[in-house]
Structure 1
Amino acid sequence: MYKALIIGGSAGSFQVITRILSSLPANFPLPVLLSLHRLKHVRSGFVEALSIKSAIPVVEPFDKDQIKPGKAYLAPANYHMFIELGNKIALSTEPPVNHSRPSIDLSFVTAAQVYREKLIGIILSGANKDGAYGLKKVSDYGGVTIVQDPMECQVKTMTESALKITKVDHVMKTDQIIRFLQNIKQ
């Protein structure tokens, strides 16, 4: 039924991402695409920190890497991560969007164009509106949209921005997001 899961987050989302990844079974049937704002000059440690708790492999992809189920792909620091037809990742150093590279919007828009109604998009805590437009595009293409409950977020700007422009399918606390994802069957 679903073909991919994409998650965007910024300030306050690291612990939530860690909890989500640690809750997914080793045989999780979807690729997990992670577009997270991070420090552009810190090249190591982030993947390792996520990998420690995750039952699925977490990698920073290279340009033109094939996307495979049961693997998490973290947009590399200071690169935009686009999703291309044929289940491929494209990396770019084009100018920042919403002051961010990687841009959550760009990752979400391209994933929505590729996976359409077979995409699940999740926006988590964050300090700017990056991701709001991208989640709207997931909705426009018929995908499932989830926003972390702003009342639970460390920083509400990103989730509230998404809720302003998109009638989302679900507003959920972290535990509800985890249960939703654990119930995905292929």
Structure 2
Amino acid sequence: MRAAAIEAVVIGASAGAVQALLHILPGLPATMSVPILIVVHVPSDRSNALVTLYRDRCRLRVKEAEDKEVVADGTIYFAPSDYHLLVEAERSLALSSDEAVHHSRPAIDVLFETAADAYGPALAAIILTGANQDGADGLRAVAAAGGVAIVQDPATAQVPAMPAAALSACPTAHVMSIDDILSYLVGLAAR
């Protein structure tokens, strides 16, 4: 699986996301220059505590994505609660309060599809644990644009529905354990 040309990583997760990301994000080295954009399904009626949770545990900068912000290398961005996170053609971020997708805002599909348009084959997309089918269409869009599609092995996911749906939509995706996903991302930092 190629890593040399990857310029950005997008990750989508839902139920079980906190534990999965606690396994991955703190393990990323400070030398990682690739930006990581993450959508986790969080209730719209509360503030997103994910940035606070991961900021002190990670060597990379962790922040909530802001509208019209230029994507910066070596930064982990979380979509804010109740906003879709999009990547614009010039690789800046946009926030949208458009309709929910798969009952979710932020929606993984919205991030993945817009990032696929912006980065094409220079994008890696990862679907982690979750309880619905959000991200399946987006992962297929990433693969169709020539990007790297990765799915957490449903057998190892806390909630396997989302990875299983992603594999059904994108059967060419690489199936990996959470440890292998971390190793792949660390490999991006080593290139």
TM-score class normalised by the smaller sequence = over 0.9
Q: What secondary structure, in the 3-state scheme, does the structure 2 residue paired with 1:90 have?
A: strand
2:49 aligns to what? 45
Pairing partner for 1:144 from 119, 139, 148: 148
| Deviation for aligned residue 1:44 | 4.6
How far off is 1:168 after superposition?
Answer: 3.0
Report the identity percentage: 40
User: CA shift at 1:85, angstroms?
Assistant: 1.4
Cα-to-partner distance string for 1:18-47 (whole Å, 9 max, x where unaligned): 221101111212000001101212215221
Q: How does 1:15-26 map to 2 (within 5 A)?
A: 15-26=19-30
Counterpart position of 1:93: 97
* Alignment TM-score, normalising by the size of structure 2: 0.94
**Hey, what's the Cα distance between the residues in 2 that align with 1:59 and 1:119?**
20
CA RMSD of aligned residues (A): 1.0
Residue of structure 2 equivalent to 1:63: 67
Number of residues paired by the alignment? 186
- Rounded to whole Å, the distance in 2 between the matches of 1:23 and 1:86 is 29
Corresponding residue to 2:111 among 107, 112, 135: 107
SS class of match (1:53)? coil
In 1, distance between residues paired with 2:122 and 2:48?
32
Cα shift at 1:14? 1.2
Structure 1 counterpart of 2:182: 178
Residues 29-44 of structure 1 correspond to what in structure 2 (within 5 A)? Answer: 29-44=33-48
- The one-letter amino acid paired with 1:125 is T
Contact 2:48/2:81 (<8 A) preserved: no
**Per-residue Cα deviation, 1:39-93 (whole angstroms, up to 9, x for no partner):** 2122152210011211111111211001011001100000000000111000011
Is 1:154 equivalent to 2:128 in the alignment? no
**Does residue 8 of the first structure (1) align with residue 12 of the second (2)?**
yes
For the pair 1:131 / 2:135, whether they are aligned, the reply is yes
Contact kept? 1:147, 1:171, Cα under 8 Å: yes
Cα distance in 2 between the residues matched to 1:133 and 1:37: 16
Give distance in 2, aligned partners of 1:169 and 1:127.
19
1-side partners of 2:104 and 2:179: how far apart? 28
Output the CA distance in 1 between the equivalents of 2:172 and 2:135.
13
Amino acid at match of 1:60: E
